[in-house]
Amino acid sequence: MEKTHRFPKVILFDLLTALLDSWTVWNKAAGSEAQGRAWRAEYLRLTYGCGAYVPYEELVAAAAERVGLEAGVAQKLEQLWPELPVWSGVQEALDAIGGRARLGVVTNCSKRLGRVAAERLRTRWDCVVTAEEAGYYKPDPRPYRFALEALGVKPQEAAFVAGSGYDLIGTHAVGLRTYWHNRIGLARPDAAPPADFESRNLDRLVPWLEDAEC
C-alpha cells in the first residue's frame, strides 16, 4: 500500500544559525571574520560541551577570553544583538508554512536574548524555548522535548529545521525529522548523523515538509 503523507503539526527551528545570520554580528563585534569565527567556534565548543545551563553571557565572555579577544567584546555583541540579520529567503519560507503548522524556536541562549532574536522575524511564534528555560543546552534532548511538550505533540508529529550540525545529534535522539539549513557550508560533526535533508537555503523546505512522514 502506498504511504500517505501529511504536513507536520509543528515545525521547530534553530534560531541563531538556521534563521538569522548571527555570524555577521559575531564577526563585527570581534573586529574581523577570522577572529569572529575563532570566537564562535570556541563558544560552540563550550556550549555543546556543558550540557546543563550556564548563563549564556558567561559562556560568550569565556570563549572570547580563551581566544585572546579584548575585554568588552561580549558586551559589544550584546549591543549588536538587535541588528541580527535575517537570512534571505527565511521570512518567505516562514510565511509559506505559517498557516499550515504551529511554529516554534529552540535556541541556545538566554531567555532575554532569545526573545530579542525571535522578534527579528515577522512571525507569530507559538513557543520560543531557550536553553535557559529548558535548563540545558542543545544538543541535549531536553530543550527539543521541552518545546514538543509545550505544544502538546509527539516527535513524529513535528519536524525541525537545524542551523548547526550539532542539532542533528539532539534531534536524532528525540526522533525529530530534520532539515539542515546549512547556509555557510559547515562540516557535519563526527558524532552527528546525517540530516534527513540538507541544503544551503530553504527553497526545498515546503516540498520536504509536504513529503515528511508525520
CATH of the domain at 145: 3.40.50.1000
Q: Is the peptide bond before 139 cis (omega within 30 degrees of 0)?
A: yes
Cell readout for 136 is 540545558
Full domain range(s) for residue 102: 10-21+84-211
DSSP characters over 164-195: STTHHHHHHHHT-EEEEE-TT-PPPPTTPPPP
Task: Give how many domains the chain has, as a whole number.
Answer: 2
In 10 A of CB 7, how many CB atoms? 15
Q: Is pLDDT of 36 > 60? A: yes
Q: Within this chain, do residues 72 and 89 fall inside the same structural domain, yes or no? A: no
Residue 2 belongs to some domain of the structure: no
Q: Is pLDDT of 4 > 50? A: no
Residue 128 belongs to some domain of the structure: yes
Q: Within this chain, do residues 14 and 105 fall inside the same structural domain, yes or no? A: yes
Q: How far apart are the first and last CA of the chain?
A: 17
In 3D space, the residue among 168, 150, 148, 167 whose CA is nearest the CA of residue 158 turns out to be 148
Is 0.85 topped by the overall pTM? yes
Q: Within this chain, do residues 166 and 62 fall inside the same structural domain, yes or no? A: no
Q: Is pLDDT of 43 > 70? A: yes
Q: Is pLDDT of 138 > 50? A: yes
Final residue of a structural domain among 41, 60, 82? 82
Match 515577522 to its residue by C-alpha cell: 122
pLDDT bracket for residue 6 (50, 70, 90): confident
Cα–Cα distance, 68 to 6 (Å, whole number): 50
Q: Within this chain, do residues 91 and 126 fall inside the same structural domain, yes or no? A: yes
